[in-house]
Structure 1
């Protein structure tokens, strides 16, 4: 399998497969592909198809879809492409029993067939920029490769044993699954109008963390004034 990532602000992930190689993705995420793929839709892909419907429900809780599509190359040279959903960058992760990851919900793009995507963490933080929905992370486990999309520019830190970092939850894009994550409030700030800005994620080392300069919530807030006002529609 060959990986190519093209573009800068709105990158495209292109995967070229040999005969029999497989890629898993959520339905509707494919941007374009060549002829020569056998396509199957199921709830049980990932980790050798274990879990079935319950695996699909776990993905839904983690912000994903119930059904996944499996693309199998019927001949060499078939390629499939996934376009970015928002400005940012695409990263490839190698998954194995010692390398599991937690990625912010909505960032998963595609994976090889033995990678399992499930809900890893769900925390309700109240109202504010999260709209009461809280923060959700998906866990990537199993064996193989996975591709994730992170928003804006990416800053990485390698935390040592005993080191911790306070992070606005929206900027926490990706971290190693063995790291301990807690949520804390900013001491001395008691104004209820601050909403979710009272809460910070506290991530403890050892482990590696990827932080994103843009949050999907801030992107949505930035473009909201330019969207049509549905309340003024007289139809």
Structure 2
């Protein structure tokens, strides 16, 4: 298996599969394919062997169904394009470390990937914290690719070091990083700050990937230029 990421603002991931190799992605991620590549859409993949596992994966944004792309009888190519301007990152998941990924960050992975729901916060703060509440848990033994919006800023947090982040700008972090929602201090900040009532506190040790663009903010910026429905 060989992967190539082409482009800058709207990159595309192309994966060359040798005969018998397989890659797993969401059913709406495929951009194009070449060669004898067969598709199999199923709930029983990405670490899920039953309906409940598929449901928990879907809650985190991974989808109830996943599609397996397998090269049969020869080499093939599968491509996945970014859905918003941003970057695509390759992640080596070795079984001893897992990652928490933002709601729609998982792009695809080789066989051996396990996708689930990573929840590390109390229910009340999670509901009001928006995007920071439900995170995908990426684990297993595989090579995975994650899509982040805009540019990517990486921080290596040391033990005892922490940072406050708007939940939507959290792209991915190692499972050694502690995550919790905190309230914004000050009445004026909460009422007029424009960033909601909650920020996420990320505490080390571990690596954090932050994304500079979120889908809601992109949609908000484009809204004035979209045609209005006639009444």
Instruction: Please confirm whether the aligned pair reaches a TM-score higher than 0.5, indicating the same fold.
Output: yes
1:150-209 CA distances to partner (integer Å, 9 max, x unpaired)? 000111010111111111111111000222101111212354455653311001100000
Q: How many pairs are equivalent?
A: 225
Q: Is the 8 A contact 1:91 1:148 kept in 2?
A: yes
1:41-68 CA distances to partner (integer Å, 9 max, x unpaired)? 1111123xx4321121012111231111
1:195-227 CA distances to partner (integer Å, 9 max, x unpaired)? 653311001100000011111111110111122
Q: Is the 8 A contact 1:124 1:134 kept in 2?
A: no
Q: Which runs of 5+ in 2 are unaligned?
A: none
Q: Which runs of 5+ in 1 are unaligned?
A: none
Q: For 1:201 and 1:189, locate their aligned partners in 2 and report how far apart those are by CA, in whole Å.
A: 18
1:168 has 2:171 as partner: no
The residue that corresponds to 1:20 in the other structure is: 20
- Normalised TM-score (structure 2): 0.91
Give the secondary-structure state (helix, strand or coil) at the position aligned to 1:208: strand
In structure 2, the CA distance between the partners of 1:51 and 1:193, relative to structure 1 (3 Å rule), is farther
Query: Which piece of structure 1 moves more, 165-174 or 114-123?
Result: 114-123
* Mapping of residues 195-214 of structure 1, within 5 Å: 196-214=195-213
The alignment yields a C-alpha RMSD, in angstroms, of: 1.7
* Mapping of residues 32-111 of structure 1, within 5 Å: 32-47=32-47, 50-111=48-109
- Normalised TM-score (structure 1): 0.90
